[in-house]
Amino acid sequence: MKKVFILFTLIVLLSVTTTMLFANGQKESGSEKSSVTFWLADYEGIDHDYVKEIEAAFEAENPQYDLELLVVDWNALNDKLTTSLAAGTPPDASIIGTRWILEYMDLDAIVPPKDYVSKATFDNIAPGAMEAVIDGTLWGIPFAAGSRFLAYNASLTDKVPATMEELEQDAITATKGGNYGLIMPGAKHSELSDFAYYFYSAGGDFFDANGKSSVNSPAGVKALEFMVKLANEDKVVQDGFMSQNRKQSQPIFMGGKAAYVMIGAWADTEYNKMNADWEIKYAQIPPFAGSKPAPLIITDSIALFKDGDNLEGIGKFIDFLYQDKWKAPLDKQMGFPPVTITAAQRPEFQTPMYAAMAEANLEAKGWPLVTNWPEISSIVWDANQKAFLGQLSSKEALDEAAAAIDELMGN
């Protein structure tokens, strides 16, 4: 019996030793996978199955990594990143609005991507897309950049407005027959884009030369009063606009029920999904009479987070993603013109929509690169909604917003 016990003990010890040696061998040989995490914003038009295809292809080519390519709702992205940073558990990298860069720099949360992403990848990115350069250092990899433009339903209208005033009249005419003249989201969401369309078209700027808020400038008041008139007096916008954000309102246009919408690069993708029996055409967002065109341009970047677990691995993934084989189809789904030089030459990007964007780029204007932009956007959204609801006049609402912004910025 004693011999049996000794033999059993030896077998157990041998088994444990073998297991430990095998485990150590895995680590020493590099066969144990390390995690890589990337948060991708859920752009309109993006194919989630294609995202999974990218994830699987990267892991097949780089079996040492276990990639988590997570698609995150745009409206939740900044809050989700802020929470993860506070907990010390950020992703290795994430899509961000370029205007968030200063906020993350203030938190000492990001690192320069050129420390981890190859020179070959950066050499293929158009220099003009490098917006996130601060004091000579690039803090965000250009991911998407595109100016906004006007799309119209050629089955409902053949008018291409040259001014905002003409757009109003053309939208009124187009409402005859039970259709909507113009799509305008009124529910607060992560982008302040609709106010900016009218604000910039009136010659407005979010801050004056002294850094004080100027949302309540004559341009700001003119823009908001015009929006309120479109919605409440002209009644050219879609029913229930106050409860609809961009993603909820724009499908009404894609369904052929509205004449005009100010929209972005995803327009072609969403239109093609509908198998529509009407023709979509593109033009420029018009200025108010007497003002110069100034369409909004949106840029998004990739930020690498200092407390990420695998910055070397995420650098390899970004090099992989930015190959034309993977990035160009993703750009096409989102509708954005490529930021890479080689992809921009591909035939799928030579279309009327991309031509309209290229024209808009010539006079486009971006968001101000300031800290606290998400909070500022929320304040102006509140002012818009108070004016829509008639709680305050446009001037009163924007005066209140400007005071709140100046207090937030310490002015």
CATH number for the domain harbouring residue 239: 3.40.190.10
- Please calculate the CA angle 284-268-74 and round it to the nearest 5 degrees: 90
Is 8 part of any domain?
no
The residue out of 354, 381, 401 marking a domain boundary is 354
Asked whether the predicted pLDDT for residue 293 surpasses 80, the reply is: yes
Tell me what the mean pLDDT of segment 247-273 comes to.
Answer: 94
Owning domain of residue 85? 34-145+298-354
Report strand pairing: 93-97 vs 34-41: parallel
Tell me what the mean pLDDT of segment 137-156 comes to.
Answer: 95
Contacts of 394 (CB under 8 A, 6+ apart): 221, 224, 225, 228, 387
Residues 279 and 327 in one domain: no
pLDDT for residue 281: 98
Residues 80 and 98 in one domain: yes
Is 44 part of any domain?
yes
pLDDT for residue 31: 56
Residues 103 and 211 in one domain: no
> What is the number of domains present in the chain?
2
Q: Taking the CB of residue 321, how many other CB atoms lie within 10 A of it? A: 21
Contact of 90 with 310, CB cutoff 8 Å: no
Is 22 part of any domain?
no
Is 360 part of any domain?
no
Asked whether the predicted pLDDT for residue 26 surpasses 70, the reply is: no
Residues 111 and 165 in one domain: no
The whole-model pTM stands at 0.79
**DSSP 8-state assignment for residue 86:** H
Residues 331 and 216 in one domain: no
Tallying the residues shown for the chain, one arrives at 411
Place of tokens 């990267």: 58
Question: Ramachandran region of residue 303, left (φ > 0), alpha (ψ -120 to 50) or beta?
Answer: beta
pLDDT for residue 369: 84
Report the C-alpha gap between 253 and 233 in whole angstroms. 21
Place of tokens 């990298």: 93
Using a pLDDT cut of 90, give the percent of the chain over it.
77
Residues 64 and 131 in one domain: yes
Residues 257 and 404 in one domain: yes
Asked whether the predicted pLDDT for residue 9 surpasses 60, the reply is: no
Exposed, middle or buried, 290 (CB in 10 Å: 0-12/13-18/19+)? exposed
pLDDT for residue 135: 87
Residues 43 and 135 in one domain: yes
Residues 93 and 233 in one domain: no
